[in-house]
Structure 1
Amino acid sequence: MNGPIVPTAVARAAHRPVVFGRVELTGGLWQLWQKVTRDTSLPLAFSWLEKAGNFDNLRQAAGERPGAGYRGPVAMDSDVAKVLETAAFELQHGPDDATAEFIGRATALLEAAQEDDGYLHSHSQVVKPGERWTRLVDSHEMYCAGHLFQAAVAAHRSIGDERLLAVARRFADHLVAEFLERKDPPLDGHPEVETALVELYRATGEERYLTLARKFVDERGRGLVGPHKWGARSRIDHLPVREAPTLTGHAVRALYMEAGVVDLYLETGDESLLQASVTRWEDMVASRTALTGGLGSRQVAEVFGEAYELPPDLGYNETCAQAASIQWSWRLLLATGDARYADLIERTLYNGFASARSADGKRYYKGNPLQRRADHAEHVGDPRFRDEWFYSACCPPAFTRIVAALEHHLATVAGDTLYVQQYAPTALTTRIAGGTAQLRIETGYPWDGTVTVTVDEAPGEEWGLAFRIPPWSTKALLEQDGSAREVTRDERGYVTVHREWRAGDTVSLHLDMTPRLTVPHPRIDALRGCAAIERGPLVYCFEQIDLAGGVDVDALALLPGSELRVTAEEEIPGIGRTVRIEADTVTVAGAHEAGLPYLTHPAASATTTGRTTATALPYFQWDNRGDGAMRVWMPLADN
């Protein structure tokens, strides 16, 4: 059972995914998300591909329904591919007739629409027949091809499907014939095909796919995408990938590009690619990442903003960008073995990413704000509101394809050590130390910080079991053989137990889940004087629905010295299992001067009244109980 990323045997990988064995979720939040995907989100996606016109576009490209008219944006084929990828990975969890039928039906449509030379892009085929590769700055032709390649690899690895893989290979062979020997080839304005070509190479062994991916990466930044109204930065074509110091432009494009850069490093050993990508990742984390892991601070053009430009209310934090961030960090983790990449995956996954879908699996955000005011309903068409589907529906299937393959991000292997990177109830089997290890992971994460591993089968040699210690845990205890000791992160972020394990052995990691008050870097202008609440891997928020007595969430301020009190686990209708946090707050009010919301200094700019208790909820669970105001970052009141 293999996941989305399987480096070759000769890849320059410090860690490898669990590929010789099986990882199966047995409970907890991750398994719940997968169940919601299987029961609700996937059937909904199947229906929307018909309602939105994706399938009709392919039928027209195949010569059916002539004159019906193309529907939707240029990248409609990519939605089909991402739903196919989700469906393929979902079938790893067990048979399902409707999902298998969808894969067969969608594959047949793609086969019928594909032209004899392998070309496949329904928008170009229907709207501009015979006109190919002429406006790659916005046509998404290669972008759609990339998602098709990834879907085909997923179906091949999950259910042994050869039909969709054959469609992908014909299209990839067409790309090779068109562009591999071409000097100064035009490049797609939306990177994605690069990482997909590398994975198709891994699945098929066809070296030309890897060579073409390298050509596309090496040529990026030389103006070959073509002019665009938002400039070369928006289309990630302003500097060569080995020279660009920061991520700029369209967030999703930039992050997909980075995934391809690291994939190329893994398969070629080109250190300059890895070094450049790590540099940009470090800058992104330090100055361009929201507390929730969200990326892309500007809704207009969906771009990264300037350093420390992280507004809570207008930050876009697109769902696709957060999915792409997980994909990039996972590749960097495999390349380096450094836990900081798993740390960011955890932050992003449990917060900004998980918030994108409603608890019932029916609605999605495109943008994920950290603040919403009471009068937000006036902003008609704002993409920071959940909906079942979108005109440009990239985000719903981007979400589900990550969730469907979550277990593949849980552990890695390096030498004779198994590294547990993320914590969820799991049954895991892998080859290690010349034999087979079978483990059970039991945990209440993210509500509880205890992770217990029981060994059910072990090889007769010594081998290591490593736990990632998240940086938010100020104290960690490791318990084994009836005693516990305090442990710290090693230089890579782990604590490792190396021994000859026997069936029945257990070891437990206890992480400190004390809630904490987090303040922003002083250069984040939009957040000065504010604080947020975190507990374990979760960021918390205050929703209007939880405030009694007509108190306005936007009028509250946190008392910095107050105790943060954790409530008991509970089930909330519309949300499910959760843990809330109580905090002491005051109401902040101030008079206007001359009708303006300003006061002459020095003056009492505000008065505080009505000390009360407010209850915070995990951010990923917000907006499931009706439409209302919300804040992650709260003003800090003067003591």
Structure 2
Amino acid sequence: MKENTTGSAVLPVAPSRGRLRPLGLDEIRITGGFWARRRHVNATATLDHCRDWMERVGWTGNFTAAVEGRIHRDRRGREFADSDVYKLLEAMSWETTHGADPDLETAIAAAQEPDGYLNTAFGRPGQQPRYSDLEWGHELYCYGHLIQAGVAQARARGDGELAKTARRAADHVCATFGRGGIERVCGHPVIETALVELARLTGEQRYLDQAALFVDRRGHGTLADGEFGRVYHQDDLPVRQARVLRGHAVRALYLAAGAVDVAVETGDDDLLAAVVRQWEATVARRTYVTGGMGSHHRDESFGDDFVLPPDRAYSETCAGVASVQLSWRLLLATGEPRFADLAERTLYNVVAASPSEDGRAFFYANTLHRRRRGTVPAKDAESPRAESSLRAPWFAVSCCPTNVARTVAALPTYLATTDDHGLQLHQYADAEISTGGIGLRIRTDYPSDGRVTVRIDRSPEHPWTLSLRVPAWAEGGTARLVEPDGTSRTVAPGTATVTRSFRPGDEILLELPVAPHWIAPDPRIDAVRGTVAVQRGPLVYCAESVDLPDGHEADAIRVDASAAPQDGPDGTVVAPGDLTAPAARAWPYRPLDRTPAPVADRTGIVLVPYHSWANRGPSTMRVWLPTTDPR
């Protein structure tokens, strides 16, 4: 892999080598469209909403309580509540228009002990001793998010109190968990990615070495064999031996991301290949059509191969964030567009599905089938974390709102990269890019429209290559690329390139076949056999009861997959189909050769983007739609 020696440092992932170099927040700006609206809501509503709730439930006050010696009786929140405060501060650093929180940063620094230890749930009089519960205590996990927040501050705002606190904590981790110290791992990975990023920031080899130690220790049974088994913590097999991601989905994905970081920085091609192998198997057999991962509610874990029930989909929002992080790292390391394909699917259908339109309520889990209408959550009370009837303003475990906040704040850094040959576009949005003598503007209504226009504003005199990802979802359609001289050609899913000496004013047009079409599941996914879904561009669609005639729920729908779905008004899709007549039966089964019950209505079924569901009040919903074929 080539070394990355130039470019911006204002980004969350800054590998020193790899096929591609990411662009920083000072090199790329989203100016309009889908993600600009989301980023505006994130900056003007979500960040303050999260800060207000953390004050209300006492999580930010834990640091002051620790300094004042009353933490043993006054601490609020779960053992990992510190981590969500850190994720919020990270989001504030990336979202430079919002402003920092120096008072909170000072309170955190004051709670740090002289040797660098910092946690409000352990280590003080009246609390459990330090590192007495590595399986569930989340101490290293909290350090990981602290360090990521410190790196964000240093890169986006300059080296401040939070960055200094994070580095002292990292030094403590290396001294305590290095060779000859506590030779174990944390039950919840994330310290690995954080230490690698701190090594990239500071140039300190010991941080990278410690991250590599944590990756290599995983899978050797250093954690207790608990209720869900060692697989829950990915402590059942070494990373290099695993064939698929398994256990707790967020933990597995964070660990894989950390392993990629270690592999890239140490040049460990075998470790990188192991993670790619796991990613491939997981995408092929353990991933929902939305990009969501994790089908078990009880242990928030991956199910077995092809166990992807839509109504029991856990598909945690944090797992979506972690999946994007992993795919992004693999894209930077390899340059392969398939990783950007999954990142796009997950961003639009998991990450974007979590927050409400006003940015003040969230999904924790992302079901694909809601059978009953839920109730509106109270606006001033925490909600159960897996409730999926309507988004809730806060959860007893609120890892997801802050994870979404930091992801959306840093989103421009996922759009484009450079290498020695030119510039690559991976995600499409109205944007302006200025890097290395290249200046360009992207104009598009994507994902509503498939036209992407790239205008060159500034260019070196020598030839260079502009690469544009042609998404995998375009397979079966006709994608077209038009060069500045008017030359037009069809392009296949993968990467389309234009190499020339560009001039200011040159335009390149990519036309993607955005049209609704049916998606059929693998027949080995028993839970959705006999159903179809609708996708339009990167967006998965769903049926919601608020669009059906009175008295009908989403489970009444049957669609005719022999006819194509069509675009409807206001971003909807209309699918040909029927609403079955409600019938009370004493027995829910019938012989196959018996004529099915007559339909009550012949109608067009209105479908909406999955990310938008549950914004119009309680409803039933489904992504996978039974067909009119009685078989």
Are the aligned partners of 2:244 and 2:281 in contact in 1 as well (CA < 8 Å)? yes
**Partner amino acid for 2:12?**
P
Q: What is the aligned partner in structure 1 of residue 339 from structure 2? A: 341
Quickly say closer, same or farther: Cα 1:321–1:130, change in 2 above 3 A: closer
Larger mean CA deviation between 468-477 and 420-429 belongs to 468-477
Is 1:510 matched with 2:517?
A: no
Q: What is the aligned partner in structure 1 of residue 480 from structure 2? A: 477
The Cα shift of 1:392 comes to 1.0
The Cα shift of 1:246 comes to 1.0
Q: Deviations over 1:251-310 (max 9, x none)?
A: 000000000000011100101111110011001110111111110011111000010111
CA distance in 2, matches of 1:249, 1:378: 32
Q: What is the aligned partner in structure 2 of residue 627 from structure 1? A: 618
Quickly say closer, same or farther: Cα 1:127–1:309, change in 2 above 3 A: farther
What secondary structure is seen at the aligned counterpart in 1 of 2:121? helix
Larger mean CA deviation between 471-480 and 251-260 belongs to 471-480
CA distance in 2, matches of 1:192, 1:293: 21
**Partner amino acid for 1:627?**
P
1:416 to 405, 412, 421: 421
Q: What is the aligned partner in structure 2 of residue 573 from structure 1? A: none
Is 1:604 matched with 2:627?
A: no
Are the aligned partners of 2:175 and 2:181 in contact in 1 as well (CA < 8 Å)? no
The Cα shift of 1:515 comes to 1.1
Q: What is the aligned partner in structure 1 of residue 547 from structure 2? A: 546
Quickly say closer, same or farther: Cα 1:303–1:67, change in 2 above 3 A: closer
**Partner amino acid for 1:518?**
I
1:383 to 367, 380, 387: 387
Is 1:519 matched with 2:511?
A: no
Q: What is the aligned partner in structure 2 of residue 575 from structure 1? A: none
Quickly say closer, same or farther: Cα 1:390–1:378, change in 2 above 3 A: closer
Are the aligned partners of 2:545 and 2:620 in contact in 1 as well (CA < 8 Å)? yes
Alignment of 1:242-257 (within 5 A): 242-257=240-255
Are the aligned partners of 2:517 and 2:564 in contact in 1 as well (CA < 8 Å)? no
CA distance in 2, matches of 1:24, 1:106: 28
Are the aligned partners of 2:458 and 2:504 in contact in 1 as well (CA < 8 Å)? yes
What secondary structure is seen at the aligned counterpart in 2 of 1:26? strand
Larger mean CA deviation between 335-344 and 386-395 belongs to 386-395
What secondary structure is seen at the aligned counterpart in 2 of 1:522? coil
CA distance in 2, matches of 1:205, 1:140: 27
Is 1:69 matched with 2:70?
A: no
Q: What is the aligned partner in structure 2 of residue 16 from structure 1? A: 21
**Partner amino acid for 1:41?**
T
Q: What is the aligned partner in structure 1 of residue 3 from structure 2? A: none
CA distance in 2, matches of 1:184, 1:63: 29
Alignment of 1:188-267 (within 5 A): 188-267=186-265
Q: What is the aligned partner in structure 2 of residue 450 from structure 1? A: 451
Are the aligned partners of 1:545 and 1:628 in contact in 2 as well (CA < 8 Å)? yes
Are the aligned partners of 1:61 and 1:125 in contact in 2 as well (CA < 8 Å)? no
Alignment of 1:492-511 (within 5 A): 493-511=494-512
Is 1:350 matched with 2:342?
A: no
Q: Which runs of 5+ in 1 are unaligned?
A: 571-578
Is 1:429 matched with 2:420?
A: no
CA distance in 1, matches of 2:584, 2:128: 64
Quickly say closer, same or farther: Cα 1:161–1:482, change in 2 above 3 A: same
Q: What is the aligned partner in structure 2 of residue 331 from structure 1? A: 329
Q: What is the aligned partner in structure 1 of residue 5 from structure 2? A: none
Provide the TM-score with structure 1 as the length reference.
Answer: 0.93
CA distance in 1, matches of 2:442, 2:276: 31
Quickly say closer, same or farther: Cα 1:590–1:598, change in 2 above 3 A: farther
2:282 to 281, 284, 287: 284
CA distance in 1, matches of 2:395, 2:609: 26
CA distance in 1, matches of 2:619, 2:108: 42
What secondary structure is seen at the aligned counterpart in 1 of 2:352? helix
Identity fraction in percent: 42
The Cα shift of 1:127 comes to 7.0
Are the aligned partners of 2:72 and 2:125 in contact in 1 as well (CA < 8 Å)? no
Q: What is the aligned partner in structure 2 of residue 155 from structure 1? A: 153
Are the aligned partners of 2:578 and 2:605 in contact in 1 as well (CA < 8 Å)? no
Provide the TM-score with structure 2 as the length reference.
Answer: 0.94
CA distance in 2, matches of 1:543, 1:471: 27
CA distance in 1, matches of 2:77, 2:560: 50
Is 1:139 matched with 2:137?
A: yes
Are the aligned partners of 2:580 and 2:599 in contact in 1 as well (CA < 8 Å)? yes
Are the aligned partners of 2:295 and 2:303 in contact in 1 as well (CA < 8 Å)? yes
Are the aligned partners of 1:252 and 1:321 in contact in 2 as well (CA < 8 Å)? yes
**Partner amino acid for 2:488?**
R
**Partner amino acid for 2:15?**
P
What secondary structure is seen at the aligned counterpart in 2 of 1:478? strand
Is 1:4 matched with 2:9?
A: no
CA distance in 2, matches of 1:228, 1:204: 37
Are the aligned partners of 1:57 and 1:126 in contact in 2 as well (CA < 8 Å)? no
Count of residues in correspondence between the two structures? 613
CA distance in 2, matches of 1:489, 1:458: 27
1:50 to 38, 42, 55: 55
1:486 to 481, 484, 489: 489
CA distance in 1, matches of 2:70, 2:133: 26
The Cα shift of 1:65 comes to 4.5
Q: What is the aligned partner in structure 1 of residue 576 from structure 2? A: 584
2:163 to 162, 165, 185: 165
CA distance in 2, matches of 1:613, 1:469: 31
CA distance in 2, matches of 1:558, 1:321: 31
The Cα shift of 1:487 comes to 2.7
Quickly say closer, same or farther: Cα 1:621–1:236, change in 2 above 3 A: same
The Cα shift of 1:588 comes to 2.7
